Amino acid sequence: MTARNVVITGASGGIGAAVAELLASRGMSVVIVARRKEALDAVAARCNSRAFPIVADAADRDEVRRVVHESVAHLGHIDVWINNVGRGITRQPSELTDLDIDEMMAINVKPALYGMQEVLPHFKERGAGHIINVSSMLGRIPVAPFRSAYSAAKHYLNSLTANFRAEVQQTHPNIQFSLVSPGVVRTEFGANAIHGGPDSHSLPYSQGAEEVAEVIAGVIKSRAPDVYTRAGASAQIAAHYAAIGADP
């Protein structure tokens, strides 16, 4: 894989950290972004001097704009921007509050929106670029009612990504917007969910963050618009909608 300059948000642990370490091991230069300085520095230390950490809150537009400027200043240019910030919630849909919905949008949608909007002028100036948004299988099939607001936020993110692609590629066809949809991943996602919830490590059919990172690295190479991280995901989605009687 040719060397590229990649910015990764939500990179202090889980999928983001695994992606940073994998890409650095393959000769890429990465900017890693998160709020937790100590954890971020630990990831940078594992990246063999190929990672530049920026402590920032991706849920703050001004902070994201600063990340773009600092990344360009450090790297010279950005090739790939990966929006990986996200957090779960454990609450049935009948129990959701206004605050629950607001928090899910603020964490799972707005950081990606800010990332896409703030890096886009740089990509347009260069005439090329690649944005990868990390979504979820729950953004395709709402099969976990206790994750209802998270699932809805990921559906929103999926639609937003597709509409960005449609708009931007009318004038800049070399700017790609990709979605990557993991299922259950063995990270701290479950333990960190708002209102608590099951530990992701204990759930069936899970995969490691390193496996997801390999898929994301593949998307950087292929620039595919929509990718699942597990084999058989498309069939699982089709089976779900067939079971509820949805017309094709």
Per-residue pLDDT at 14 exceeds 90: yes
Q: What is the pLDDT of residues 80-96, one digit of tens each?
A: 999 999 999 999 999 99
Q: Is the dihedral of CA 65, 71, 77, 80 positive or negative?
A: negative
- Look at residue 176 and tell me if it is in a domain: yes
SS (H, E, C) 54-122: EECCCCCHHHHHHHHHHHHHHHCCCCEEEECCCCCECECHHHCCHHHHHHHHHHHCHHHHHHHHHHHHH
228 is annotated as an active-site residue: no
Pick the catalytic residue from 150, 156, 205, 241: 150
- Look at residue 60 and tell me if it is in a domain: yes
177-188 mean pLDDT: 94
Per-residue pLDDT at 79 exceeds 90: yes
Burial class (CB in 10 A: 0-12, 13-18, 19+), 242: exposed
Q: Given this model, what pLDDT does residue 200 score?
A: 84
The pTM (predicted TM-score) of the whole model is: 0.95
Q: What is the CATH number of the domain that holds 217?
A: 3.40.50.720
Per-residue pLDDT at 20 exceeds 80: yes
Q: Given this model, what pLDDT does residue 201 score?
A: 83
Q: Given this model, what pLDDT does residue 2 score?
A: 58
Query: 197 or 144, which is more confident?
Result: 144
- Look at residue 54 and tell me if it is in a domain: yes
- Look at residue 171 and tell me if it is in a domain: yes
Q: Given this model, what pLDDT does residue 205 score?
A: 78
Query: 121 or 2, which is more confident?
Result: 121
Give residue 3's pLDDT band: very low, low, confident or very high (50, 70, 90).
Answer: low
Burial class (CB in 10 A: 0-12, 13-18, 19+), 21: buried
Query: 45 or 189, which is more confident?
Result: 45
- Look at residue 59 and tell me if it is in a domain: yes
In the chain, the number of structural domains is: 1
Tell me the residue range of the domain where 175 lies: 5-243
Per-residue pLDDT at 187 exceeds 70: yes
163-181 mean pLDDT: 98
- Look at residue 180 and tell me if it is in a domain: yes
- Look at residue 214 and tell me if it is in a domain: yes
- Look at residue 248 and tell me if it is in a domain: no
Q: Given this model, what pLDDT does residue 197 score?
A: 82
Give residue 63's pLDDT band: very low, low, confident or very high (50, 70, 90).
Answer: very high
On whether the CB atoms of residues 64 and 75 are closer than 8 A, the answer is no
Q: Given this model, what pLDDT does residue 190 score?
A: 86
Percent of the chain having pLDDT more than 90? 88
Per-residue pLDDT at 32 exceeds 70: yes
Average pLDDT, rounded, for the chain? 95
